[in-house]
Amino acid sequence: MFMKNILPMIIGVTLLIVSLTSPVVLSIANIIGLFYPKMKLKRLCWALTVILGLLVSYIYAGVALENVKDQPWNEQLINEQVHQILNSETRGIYIVIMLIGLVGFVILAMRRMDNTPPLISVLSIAAMYPAAVTCIIWCIHIIPLRGGHFVNTVPLMILPFNLIIMMCSLIREKIKEWNDVHEVMLAIADKDDKKLAWHEGLLGKAQNWPVIALLAAIPLLGVVLGISVLLGQRPDALIATWTETADWNLSQMIPPQNVQVDEHYLCTVAAGGHKKIVKPLRMGERHGHKVVVNRQLEVANAFELVLEWKTPRLHHVVRSFYDKYGFPIARCIRTRTACDIVYFMMKPLEWFFVIVLYMTLAHPENVIAVQYMPGYREVLDKCRNRKA
């Protein structure tokens, strides 16, 4: 029995230690490998960086970034939630770019330079360049700047940083390996074939590979973009992936203002249910923040106000009961369907509230209509005192 209880704890603590220490240890190892090409276990560090980096990033995004929702920029969110980091309609092209970069990296890392044609090396480097640029743009896009909603996305920048270090380290290693194996020659073909000699001399110098790969990366990226367009992707997908978002550094879209849901379950229903069912009317103000107001919410709040005016003691009892049991219920209402169900369940009470309001107020619809407007309580209290 003791082992059954202690084993999950040991596994959990182990995973926690690995997730906290592995990014730091592997980052240091990759930086050292950049300056010391012959560092032992470099390939193992690279493999662990990719595998553990993806795993830790996934866990962190799911646990610590629960407010980051995979919703497009034009969707209205609640409280401190933020929209998707990348445009879901166009981000597929960047997944392809990263996969092509990974293929180029693996090909270059697995081959020995003494039997690898220079053009293969150049194309492998060219495949990595767009992936490296994507990593840089990603880091710029998610830097947690103050302003609006603050989201700590620094841990999601560790893997892209290490990928860039790994690419630079591999390119530097292969250039040195080529130079150690081959003598630098300007021409290896027949002197009469000057054109062939020029090409062979250009590729024969490993120092030229990064520059040639940069030129080759442009048509390679064009081919990828062309194929993606043929498969239904937008022509401006490369830019729209970053700009057609909200809440992030490269975002160009202005999203709807977040609705504040503050544990009041009728506020949750009005903001979260399907519009055709809960029928939101307008924006209101509650406790200093914006809320969506529908008829049901107006009626319930007006009823509570009348209850407070007419029977303060009963209102105190009802309010205490609601605060104790209503807030936990509100935390369980997290889907549109749940909001719709609560809306229908509250309908009989809404009708009862309306009957009470029409029996106790001279102008019930006026009182109902001004609910959640800025300063409505003060205005209604003044009108009531004047009548009194």
Domain limits of the chain? 22-64+85-243, 265-387
Percent of all residues in the chain with a pLDDT value above 70, rounded to a whole number: 80
Tell whether the model's pLDDT for residue 24 goes beyond 70: yes
pLDDT tens by residue, 74-131 = 887 777 788 899 999 989 999 999 999 999 999 999 988 778 788 888 999 999 999 9
The 10s digit of each residue's pLDDT in 276-295 is 888 888 888 776 677 788 88
Q: Read off the pLDDT of residues 214-234 as tens digits, 9 standing for 90 and up.
A: 888 888 888 888 888 887 878
pLDDT for residue 82:
87
145: pLDDT strictly greater than 70: no
Q: Please say if the pLDDT value at position 167 is more than 90.
A: yes
Give 7's pLDDT tier (boundaries 50, 70, 90): low
N-term to C-term CA, the chain: 71
Minimum mean pLDDT among 78-82, 144-148, 269-273: which range?
A: 144-148
Identify the pLDDT of residue 387.
Answer: 56
For position 101, what pLDDT does the model report?
94
* 12-21, 50-59, 69-78, 345-354: range with lowest mean pLDDT: 12-21
Is the pLDDT confidence value at 192 over 50? no
For the whole model, what pTM was predicted? 0.69
Q: Does residue 183 have a pLDDT over 60?
A: no
Q: Report the pLDDT value the prediction gives residue 383, as an integer from 0 to 100.
A: 66
What mean pLDDT comes out for the span 138-145? 87
Residue 42 to residue 172: CA distance in whole angstroms: 13
Looking at residue 40, what is its pLDDT? 82
Amino acid 136: pLDDT: 96
Q: Is the pLDDT of residue 196 over 50?
A: no
**157 pLDDT above the threshold of 60:** yes
Per residue in 237-267, pLDDT (tens digit) is 889 999 999 889 999 988 876 766 655 667 7
Handedness of CA 106, 162, 68, 130 (dihedral sign): negative
**Best mean pLDDT range from 45-49, 307-311, 380-384:** 45-49
